[in-house]
Amino acid sequence: TKTLKDAVAEVVPAKREQLKKLKADYNDANLGQIKLENLLGGMRGLKVMLWEGSVLDSERGIAFHGKSIPDCEKVLPTAQDIGLSGKEMLPESMLWLLLTGQVPSKEEVKQLSAELASKGKLPSYAEKIIDSFPKTMHPMTQFASAVASLNHDSKFAEAYKQGVRKTEYWQPTLEDSIDLIAKLPAIAARIYHNVFGRGDGVQKIDSNLDLIGNYSQMIGYGDNEGMIDYLRLYIAIHGDHEGGNVSAHTAHLVGSALSDPYLSYSAALLGLAGPLHGLANQEVLGWALDMQKKVGDNASESDIKEFLWTTLKSGRVVPGYGHAVLRMPDPRFSALSRFCDTRPELKNSSIVQLVQKTSKVAPEVLKEHGKTKNPYPNVDAASGCVLYEYGLKEWSYYTVIFGISRALGALPQLVMDRALGLPIERPKSLSMDALEELLKK
C-alpha cells in the first residue's frame, strides 16, 4: 500500500511541469483588471493566488479537486470502509484527496489513520504550556499558541538550518504537516478538558481508531456514534474553501516567508478566531439560543421573522448568513442538514428544528433588508446546533473544532507552495495620496 508521502512524491513532478508550462505559455496573459473597488473592497474577485486543493464557484459551491461535496460523499472512504462503524467520509480521505488530487483506496486511508495515531501524542512541554493557560483565555488563543509552540520540533525549520536544497523543501514541510494534523486532536482535547472540565485530559490514542475516533474518545464522546460521525463529516467538509478566505490565505502568506507549518498554521488559527470568519459558528449558536428563549419551541415563521428584523435593526449581522463569494445556499450547510435528517435524535431536536426553520425564512428577510449580496445560509448556520444537541454545549469551543479541520486544506497547500517553489508574497500597497496621484494621470 502506497504511503501518503509516496503519493505526493508522484504528484510533485507533474505539478512542477504544469506550472512551467503555464509560465511558458501564458506569463503575459491578462487575468482581469484591478479596479479601485477591488482595492478598497478587500480584494474581492481578484484572481491573485494559486491554490490547488479546491475552487469555489459562486453558483455551484466548493469543489475539492473538481469533486463537489455530494461527489466526495460517494467516493471517499468512510469509517465502515476501514473496519470501524460510521457512514460519513473520513477527514483522512479528504486530506489524501486535497494533497494528491486522488481518491485514496480503503487500505491507503487505513494506513494513514494508523500513521496519524502513531504521531498523535503531544510532547510534555506542549502539555505543560497548555496547562499553564488561564481558563479564562479564549480556547482559540490557547489553540494557536499551543500550535506555535510545536515549532520547537519543526523538521522543516531544522532542515532549513542545515541548508536543505530548495527542491526538497516540500518533504520536511509534509512531515511537519502530518505531525501537526496528527496532534491537533490532542491539543484541542486538552484545552477542552482544562477550560470546561470535559473529557479526562489524558492522551489515550488507540492505534486502531481513526483521527476523529481518537479525538472523540479524548473529549468524552467515545461512545456516541452519532457525534463521532458528525465530527467526521464536519471536519472533512470544513477542510478547504479555496485560498482567499482569511485562515487559508494567512497560512499561505506566513508560509511564503518560509515560516514552518506550525507557525503558519498558528497564524491561520488566529485569523479563524475572527467573528466574521470561523468564530461565526460560536456566534450563531448564541444568537439561535437567544431566539429560542424569545420565540420558544414550535415558533411560527412570523416570530422568527420578527426576531431576524430585531437583529438587523439593532445594526448587527445575522450570523450564519451571507458569504464573500457564494451566491447560493452553502453546500456544506446542505450536507450538515442532510446529516440531521438522517438521525432521529437530531430530527426531533428543538434547536435543530429552529435553525432549519430559520434557514427557510431568513433569505426572504435578508433580501428585503437589501444589503447582503448572498441572503442564504452558510455552513456556520447549521454546525453549532448539532454539537449543542449532542451535549457539547460550550460554544466558545466550537471554532477549535473548525480549527482542527482547516489544517486539512491549508497545510497541503503549504506543501505544494514549497514543491512549486512559490515566492514570498509581496503585493503592492498605496496610500490614498499616492492613489489620487496615480488616478489623476
Catalytic residues: 277, 323, 380
- Spell out a b/e string for 312-345, using b for 16 or more CB atoms within 10 Å of the CB, else e: beeeebbbbbbbbbbeebbbbbbbbbebbeebee
H or E segment and range at residue 258:
none
Q: Where are the alpha helices (DSSP H) in 219-316?
A: 225-237, 246-255, 261-272, 280-295, 301-313
Place of cell 514549497: 418
C-alpha angle 187/141/112, rounded to 5°? 30
Specify the residue, 259 or 378, whose C-beta has the smaller distance to ligand FCX: 378
For residue 126 the three cell numbers come to 506542549
Task: State the number of CA atoms in the 13 A half-sphere of 373 facing the CB.
Answer: 8
Please, are residues 311 and 304 in contact by the beta-carbon 8 Å criterion? no
Q: Where are the alpha helices (DSSP H) in 343-390?
A: 344-347, 350-369, 380-389
3 state DSSP class of 309: helix
Specify the residue, 37 or 223, whose C-beta has the smaller distance to ligand FCX: 37
CB of 304 vs ligand FCX, minimal distance in Å: 15
**Side chain identity at 175, as an amino acid letter?**
E
H or E segment and range at residue 109:
helix 106-118
List residues bridging with 55 in a β-sheet: 63
List residues bridging with 63 in a β-sheet: 55
Specify the residue, 190 or 406, whose C-beta has the smaller distance to ligand FCX: 406
Could you tell me how far CA 333 lies from the centroid of its own chain? Answer: 14
Please, are residues 204 and 196 in contact by the beta-carbon 8 Å criterion? no
CB of 434 vs ligand FCX, minimal distance in Å: 25
Please, are residues 87 and 215 in contact by the beta-carbon 8 Å criterion? no
CB of 245 vs ligand FCX, minimal distance in Å: 5
| Footprint of ligand FCX (CB under 6 A) | 245, 276-278, 280, 312, 317-324, 371-374, 378-380
Specify the residue, 69 or 82, whose C-beta has the smaller distance to ligand FCX: 69
Specify the residue, 169 or 402, whose C-beta has the smaller distance to ligand FCX: 402
List residues bridging with 61 in a β-sheet: 57
Burial class (CB in 10 A: 0-12, 13-18, 19+), 216: buried
**DSSP secondary structure letter of residue 424:** P
Specify the residue, 201 or 320, whose C-beta has the smaller distance to ligand FCX: 320
Phi, psi of 216 (to 5 degrees): -60, -40
> Which residue has the closest beta carbon to ligand FCX?
322
Specify the residue, 37 or 297, whose C-beta has the smaller distance to ligand FCX: 37
Specify the residue, 277 or 418, whose C-beta has the smaller distance to ligand FCX: 277
* Parallel, antiparallel or unpaired: strands 61-64 and 54-57: antiparallel
CB of 287 vs ligand FCX, minimal distance in Å: 10
